Amino acid sequence: MQALDTQTTIAVIGAGAMGSGIAQVAAQAGHKVYLHDQRDGAASAGRDGVAKQLQRRVDKGKMEQQAVDAIVGRIHPVSALSEVADSRMVIEAIIEDLEIKHSLLADLEELCGKKTILATNTSSISVTALGAKLRHPERLVGMHFFNPAPLMALVEVVKGLATDHSVAEIVHATATNWGKKPVFATSTPGFIVNRVARPFYAESLRLLQEGAADPATLDAIVREAGNFRMGPFELTDLIGHDVNYAVTNSVFNAYYQDARFLPSLIQKELVEAGRLGRKSGHGFYSYTEGSKRPEPDTEPSRLSDDTTLIVKGDLGPASALINRFRDAGLDIVERDGPGQL
């Protein structure tokens, strides 16, 4: 199935960090992009934010000014929803609320032509449920980007029960042309990534709530022992606690309140306090000017140069630790049987 031609117009509804990022991705691929937000001035601010981000690349010698001007010039803020009517595809990236999305998608169905693809950037709401009140749910498909959209390669192309297969294939091919790595997913709670990611956040938040360690220490453990680029508290600060908490609640309810997906009271308090992470200046960490990141609570090494580690029997999955101990300079003695230490 052919991707959408770059001569076609793309519309993005919602000019927050995600919506603006998606607009940038489409504009970089050569599309004219309408950017709409119901908040006065938000669409223009979103385009200005894209320009500011790209200008940094120019300043670092990684992009030409002419290229930046062309990309930004393809993004057109529009004040009325009706102005996106001639778009070939409309991607909604608004608040994660079923009823609000229902209302927007119904309006878009009335405004846009029959061939317009309606795509939702929802991270956890059922695409089947979103399409249930549409007259033509077959043209609704999930197109879930990850934050920051210009940098993250993965895009989940989510088919609801009524989604036409050809529509999903067009979106998949278009995402590929936009330099992304799309994967097909079915409309299950959390799709792929947000289903898998829930324990990453939930277990860490549970450890914090039980007083096992502070956020900086838990982040360091996950980065250094798990080889993740960011720990769970750094990552939720980046995503935004309002977004992360809403997705957790959505997945929790979609799985009939399965305790494995239980939302965190600590994160609930952050949301209620307006401490949403980087975008508000404070989350688990402070992002105000001059603030310093707390150091992890690290136990000093008590190993001497002549320390010997005796390994007795088969360690099973933990046997990979032996090589790490060797790399750390420990003398390893392996014994098979239950003999003397």
pLDDT, one tens digit per residue, over 40-56 is: 999 999 999 999 999 99
Tokens 């960090």 correspond to 17
For residues 326 and 206, give the distance between their C-alpha atoms in angstroms, rounded to a whole number.
33
Instruction: Supply the CATH classification number for the domain 9-186.
Output: 3.40.50.720
Average pLDDT on 53-60 reads: 96
Tokens of 277: 């992470």
Q: What is the domain class of 196-272 according to CATH?
A: mainly alpha
Instruction: Name the band, by pLDDT with cuts 50, 70 and 90, for residue 311.
Output: confident
For residues 245 and 212, give the distance between their C-alpha atoms in angstroms, rounded to a whole number.
22
For residues 233 and 45, give the distance between their C-alpha atoms in angstroms, rounded to a whole number.
28
Please indicate whether residue 123 is annotated as part of the active site.
yes
pTM, two decimals, is 0.82
**Lateral strand order in the sheet of 117-120:** 75-78, 32-36, 9-13, 89-92, 117-120, 140-144, 154-159, 181-186
Please indicate whether residue 194 is annotated as part of the active site.
yes
Per-residue pLDDT of 240-261, as tens digits, reads 999 899 999 989 999 999 999 9
Counting Cβ atoms within 10 Å, is residue 260 exposed (0-12), middle (13-18) or buried (19+)? exposed
Residue in 92, 96, 156, 234 annotated catalytic: 156
Decide the pairing of beta strands 140-144 and 154-159. Answer: antiparallel
Query: What sign has the CA pseudo-torsion 210, 211, 212, 215?
Result: positive
Tokens of 268: 């609930």
User: What is the model's pLDDT at position 323?
Assistant: 82
State the helix-helix crossing angle for 17-28 and 42-59, rounded to 10 degrees.
60
* 214 Cβ contact partners less than 8 Å away, ≥ 6 residues apart: 208, 294, 296, 297
Tokens of 104: 């927007």
Average pLDDT on 199-214 reads: 96
Q: What is the mean pLDDT of the chain?
A: 93
Closest CA to 89 of 185, 157, 38: 157
Segment (H or E) for 10: strand 9-13
Please indicate whether residue 144 is annotated as part of the active site.
yes
Average pLDDT on 2-30 reads: 97
Closest CA to 204 of 194, 213, 191: 213
* 138 Cβ contact partners less than 8 Å away, ≥ 6 residues apart: 162, 163, 164, 167
| pLDDT(341) > 80 | no
Residue in 123, 126, 187, 250 annotated catalytic: 123
User: What is the model's pLDDT at position 314?
Assistant: 84
Tokens of 148: 């920051």
Instruction: Name the band, by pLDDT with cuts 50, 70 and 90, for residue 326.
Output: confident
Average pLDDT on 221-232 reads: 93
Residue in 144, 172, 241, 282 annotated catalytic: 144
Residue 77: strand pairing partners:
35
CA angle 198, 201, 206 (to 5 degrees): 115
Instruction: Name the band, by pLDDT with cuts 50, 70 and 90, for residue 299.
Output: confident
Average pLDDT on 200-229 reads: 95
Q: Where are the domains of the chain?
A: 9-186, 196-272, 300-341
Tokens of 70: 């062309």
Closest CA to 232 of 264, 190, 191: 264
| pLDDT(145) > 90 | yes
For residues 109 and 326, give the distance between their C-alpha atoms in angstroms, rounded to a whole number.
63
% helix, strand, coil for the chain, step of 5:
45, 15, 40
Instruction: Name the band, by pLDDT with cuts 50, 70 and 90, for residue 303.
Output: low
Tokens 């956020």 correspond to 215
State the helix-helix crossing angle for 65-73 and 42-59, rounded to 10 degrees.
170
Q: pLDDT above 70 covers what percent of the chain?
A: 97
Distance of CA 321 to the CA centre of its chain: 32
| pLDDT(337) > 70 | no
A 10 A CB-CB count for 302 gives 6
- What does the CA dihedral 156, 157, 159, 160 come to, rounded to 10 degrees? 60
Please indicate whether residue 156 is annotated as part of the active site.
yes
